[in-house]
């Protein structure tokens, strides 16, 4: 595969294999439930999902766009910093994405759960409702709270977007004058303006629910967490690049 660095090539292969597994194993459901990331309170949650969800995707468009971005920016970044540093940024950004997205979920979910428990439910009843999506004999207030809490409890997270946002941030740190173009906005913009702009749009989308260029079910705070993690790692490395012991991994 010419024009693709080794680590990027292996990541592409793993992502494609996992996507094929999603399509072919367990009728498109079992494989997804094993390896997508669920809220830790959800019965479907498993510790390995913290890593495996980074290699899962929810559809053809999702994986095509992510793998295109991984090839485009990942190859450039790996060529500049080497495979060890690249994979460190990639996985770390994915973990940063998890941290931000789960924190955002819990920020919204915990107050709802507290109100539901205070209204007369116990935790077992809530779990049964969330898992069955069946409810009867509740007040209008309780029903409204359940409708808000249900999609958060059952939310799943898949995709390499958080990892790729970290790689994109690293690319911008090393190539601030490089001009980038969005598919939906064909105007060349320097990386030092483009990448912060994307992050700001993700924050606004997460807080308002208004989607700009991504599907409405996008985990926007995962994008923010991945980008911030990639930025902080590159900032630290650049700050200490003359100290050999700190630069080498």
pLDDT at position 245 over 60? no
> Cα(43)–Cα(116) distance, rounded to whole angstroms?
19
DSSP helix/strand/coil, 99: helix
Total domain count, the chain: 1
Chain segment 197-240, per-residue pLDDT in tens: 777 877 777 777 666 555 556 778 899 999 999 999 999 988 87
Residue 141 inside a domain? The answer is yes
Residue 164 inside a domain? The answer is yes
φ and ψ of 72, to 5 deg:
-65, -50
Tokens of 241: 């690049």
Residue 134 inside a domain? The answer is yes
Residue 1 inside a domain? The answer is no
Residue 145 inside a domain? The answer is yes
The predicted model scores a pTM of: 0.86
pLDDT at position 176 over 90? no
Q: For the domain that residue 117 is a member of, what is the CATH number?
A: 1.20.1540.10
The range of the structural domain enclosing residue 209 comes to 6-247
Chain segment 81-117, per-residue pLDDT in tens: 999 999 999 999 999 999 999 999 999 999 999 999 9
């Amino acid at each position: 595969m010419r024009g693709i660095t080794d680590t990027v090539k292996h990541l592409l292969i793993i992502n494609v294999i996992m996507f094929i597994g999603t399509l072919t194993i367990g009728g498109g459901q079992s494989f997804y439930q094993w390896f997508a990331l669920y809220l830790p309170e959800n019965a479907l949650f498993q510790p390995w999902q913290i890593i495996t969800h980074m290699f899962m995707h929810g559809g053809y468009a999702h994986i095509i766009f992510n793998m295109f971005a991984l090839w485009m920016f990942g190859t450039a970044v790996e060529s500049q910093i080497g495979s060890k540093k690249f994979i460190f940024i990639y996985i770390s950004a994915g973990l940063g994405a998890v941290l931000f997205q789960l924190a955002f979920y819990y920020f919204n979910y915990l107050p709802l759960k507290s109100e539901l428990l205070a209204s007369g439910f116990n935790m077992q009843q809530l779990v049964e409702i969330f898992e069955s999506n069946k409810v009867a004999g509740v007040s209008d207030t309780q029903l409204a709270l359940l409708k808000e809490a249900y999609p958060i409890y059952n939310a799943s997270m898949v995709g390499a977007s958080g990892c790729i946002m970290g790689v994109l941030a690293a690319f911008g740190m090393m190539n601030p004058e490089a001009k980038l173009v969005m598919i939906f906005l064909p105007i060349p913009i320097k990386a030092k303006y483009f990448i912060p702009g994307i992050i700001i749009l993700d924050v606004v989308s997460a807080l308002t629910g208004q989607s700009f260029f991504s599907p409405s079910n996008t985990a926007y705070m995962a994008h923010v967490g991945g980008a911030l993690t990639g930025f902080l790692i590159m900032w630290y490395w650049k700050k200490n690049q003359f100290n050999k012991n700190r630069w080498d991994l």
